Amino acid sequence: MTVAYAICSVSDIPNRRGRGFELVRVVDGAEKPWPIFVVRWDKQVFAYVNRCPHNNVNLDWETNQFFEPGTKNIVCGKHGSLFELASGKCFDGPCVGKDLEPVSVCVLDGDICVVGVELAELPDEDDEEAARSASPPSP
């Protein structure tokens, strides 16, 4: 069974813009930071790991700024590498021949969901409150 993790509503990302997310992925039982970004472009949604394959820095030069101005090319803010939106392929800059790591996403009931991975889920506020209530008071 495939689990879909809703990370935001489609309407939370303006059309032709991107938004970064700091998620935590479970790999071999260990929790690891997993920065990703999601782009909404007209009726399509694309997602990639927020890491330049040239030297592992985040792509956004300012928070949620993933595009070369006036284009639909993803740009690395550090070295200016350019990537195709639909494929993640680098076609200009120091990482030509390397690709962004895609993230599988789908839209379910208006939510953008990550699929195909295991994410560490944060406990609900009600669960945290119940845990605090169940703990004996400190002396």
Contact indicator for 13, 109 with CB cutoff of 8 Å? no
- Both tokens of residue 79? 């070295």
Residue 138 placed within a domain: no
Number of domains in the chain: 1
Q: Which tops the pLDDT comparison, 124 or 30?
A: 30
Residue 129 placed within a domain: yes
Percent of all residues in the chain with a pLDDT value above 90, rounded to a whole number: 77
Residue 44 placed within a domain: yes
Please report which confidence band the pLDDT of residue 131 belongs to, taking 50, 70 and 90 as the band edges.
very low
Query: Is pTM, for the whole model, over 0.95?
Result: no
Domain of residue 41 covers 4-133
Residue 9 placed within a domain: yes
Rounded Cα distance between 53 and 32, Å, is 18
Please report which confidence band the pLDDT of residue 56 belongs to, taking 50, 70 and 90 as the band edges.
confident
Q: CA dist 70 to 29, 64, 97, Å? A: 42, 15, 24
> For the chain, what is the mean pLDDT?
89
CATH number, domain of 111, equals 2.102.10.10
Residue 11 placed within a domain: yes
* pLDDT digits 0-9 by tens, 60-89: 978 999 999 999 999 999 989 999 999 999
Residue 139 placed within a domain: no
